[in-house]
């Protein structure tokens, strides 16, 4: 069990609650002593968002629950554990001031909303996953669903579900209860690739299939129709099951289909106010861009005393030469005289350097060491120099 948040959306995530609830023991032949403990896990956290969300704020309290399968299906010996779980969950939701509840409730998925509503907790289902069995024979088209769900706690919600109360029928292929495979619902082989179980396995088993689901979806549908200002609006997004199954189209044992829901709040501004706001933003952006261009130009062409012109205009050739002389830069003729001075002082030209780098013999290597001291060594006869260097030295003399 884990709670995670995208780093681009949240800046902090703190664990606020953790409970490993012992629901009792049951027989298991694979266990060392033939028994296992039924453990329900409950994890709470506070997510600090980078930007506040309407009706939720910038700090969202979430609670993740994994209701053990034995009490969740009211297995023999776990009836009391099932009854005690809902008051406990209400207490935790109230204590933690939970805003979003999600998790795996196993065969009690369709009992979350009715049980908590009976205890006075305002809870609404906003995401779940129905599918169809593609098995050949009597099981083909059987309505199936995953045992996970996402719920909003403590406030009215207008939720737009992918499958709502209006889809709980068997009249045509658009109905979830219609016994057949259609394009409206994902179809995979039951008990092999699909998550969860057949709808008939969920509580209460005494109710008709439609009545097991309708109470949980009724509140979501009512909120969607009552699109009133001041109500949190959400929209469920159904992800691609082929991507989840992967290339081999085989589900990993114990894996659940990912659920996804987005806020779907409308703008509080009128259309006229929204247009004025966009126009104002465009003007500010244009002014900011113009200021940036002017600052860039001013840094590249600073105002000077020699040009006598605006900083945004180009210099003439005379102005450039005048400014260069003021900076003590040499003209081409001055630089030529400096090169003659450099040769007189014993500095090498490019031709001298090329001749020096072609030496190969040990004697020439030794001569090169002397050259590094100075090319105008009057104590060394020219006959001892490399011919190229000797010619260069003759020119300097």
Instruction: Tell me the pLDDT tens digit for each residue of 249-287.
Output: 666 677 888 999 998 876 666 777 777 878 887 877 777
Report pLDDT digits (tens) over 78-136. 999 999 999 999 999 999 999 999 999 999 999 999 999 999 999 999 999 998 887 76
pLDDT of residue 207: 84
pLDDT of residue 67: 97
The residue-averaged pLDDT of 11-40 equals: 94
Cα 115 to Cα 120, 204, 213: the distances in Å are: 9, 12, 13
Q: Does the pLDDT of residue 40 top 50, yes or no?
A: yes
Sheet order of strands, 261-263 included: 157-160, 232-236, 261-263
Contact by Cβ (8 Å): 150, 242? no
Cα 278 to Cα 20, 50, 54, 283, 381: the distances in Å are: 52, 23, 21, 9, 86
Mean pLDDT lowest among 8-22, 73-87, 131-145: 131-145
pLDDT of residue 375: 44
Q: Does the pLDDT of residue 175 top 50, yes or no?
A: yes
Report pLDDT digits (tens) over 344-395. 545 555 555 555 555 445 555 555 545 444 444 445 555 555 565 566 656 5
pLDDT of residue 223: 45
């Amino acid at each position: 069990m884990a709670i995670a948040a995208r780093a681009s959306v949240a800046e902090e995530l703190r664990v606020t609650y953790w409970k490993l609830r012992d629901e009792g023991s049951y027989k298991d032949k694979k266990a060392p002593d033939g028994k296992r403990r039924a453990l329900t896990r409950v994890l709470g956290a506070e997510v600090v968002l980078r930007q506040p969300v309407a009706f939720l704020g910038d700090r969202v309290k979430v609670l993740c629950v994994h209701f053990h399968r034995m009490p969740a299906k009211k297995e023999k010996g776990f009836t009391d554990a099932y009854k005690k779980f809902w008051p406990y969950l209400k207490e935790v939701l109230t204590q933690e001031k939970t805003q979003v509840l999600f998790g795996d409730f196993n065969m009690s998925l369709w009992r979350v909303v009715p049980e908590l509503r009976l205890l006075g907790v305002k809870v609404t289902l906003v995401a779940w996953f129905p599918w169809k069995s593609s098995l050949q024979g009597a099981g083909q088209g059987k309505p199936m669903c995953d045992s996970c769900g996402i719920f909003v706690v403590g406030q009215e919600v207008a939720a737009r579900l992918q499958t709502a109360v209006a889809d709980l029928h068997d009249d045509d292929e658009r109905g979830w209860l219609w016994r057949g495979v259609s394009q409206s619902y994902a179809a995979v082989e039951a008990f092999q690739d699909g998550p969860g179980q057949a709808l008939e396995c969920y509580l209460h088993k005494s109710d008709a299939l439609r009545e097991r689901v309708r109470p949980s979806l009724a509140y979501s549908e009512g909120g969607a129709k009552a699109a009133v200002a001041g109500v949190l609006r959400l929209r469920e997004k159904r992800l691609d099951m082929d991507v989840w199954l992967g290339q081999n189209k085989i589900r990993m044992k114990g894996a659940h289909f990912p659920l996804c829901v987005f806020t779907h709040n409308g703008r509080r501004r009128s259309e006229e106010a929204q247009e004025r706001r966009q126009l104002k933003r465009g003007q500010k952006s244009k002014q900011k861009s113009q200021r940036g261009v002017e600052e860039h130009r001013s840094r590249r062409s600073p105002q000077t005393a020699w040009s006598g012109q605006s900083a945004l205009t180009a210099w003439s050739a005379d102005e450039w030469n005048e400014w260069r002389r003021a900076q003590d830069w040499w003209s081409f003729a001055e630089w030529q005289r400096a090169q003659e001075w450099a040769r007189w002082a014993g500095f090498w030209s490019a031709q001298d350097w090329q001749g020096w780098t072609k030496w190969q013999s040990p004697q020439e290597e030794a001569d090169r060491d002397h050259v590094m001291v100075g090319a105008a060594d009057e104590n060394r006869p020219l006959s001892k120099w490399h011919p190229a260097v000797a010619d260069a030295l003759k020119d300097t003399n």
